[in-house]
Amino acid sequence: MAVALVMPEKKLAYVSVDSVLKKFKQKEFARQVEREQIYQCEEKLGIGIEDFVKITLTAMQKNSELLGL
């Protein structure tokens, strides 16, 4: 969600997996996010980080109205 909020449109529809991954690498962006927990998706779920972001983003985009984005 944080990526959408910094975009001019402020809409999840304009967010891409690449834009999330790019921001995710910046430790100063969304500082409160515990990145180590997200990285565990590979170890615990067998899903690569890119696929995990894609699954999560798609779900959020489908529910963007509920999220207000």
Q: What is the pLDDT of residues 12-59, one digit of tens each?
A: 999 999 999 999 989 889 888 888 998 898 899 999 999 999 999 999
Range of the domain at 12: 2-67
pLDDT recorded at residue 1:
79
pLDDT recorded at residue 18:
96
Confidence band (pLDDT; 50, 70, 90) for 8? very high
| Crossing angle of helices 17-24 and 49-62, rounded to 10° | 120
pTM, whole model, 2 decimals?
0.86
CB neighbour class for 47 (10 Å; exposed up to 12, middle 13-18, buried from 19): middle
pLDDT recorded at residue 27:
86
What is the number of domains present in the chain?
A: 1
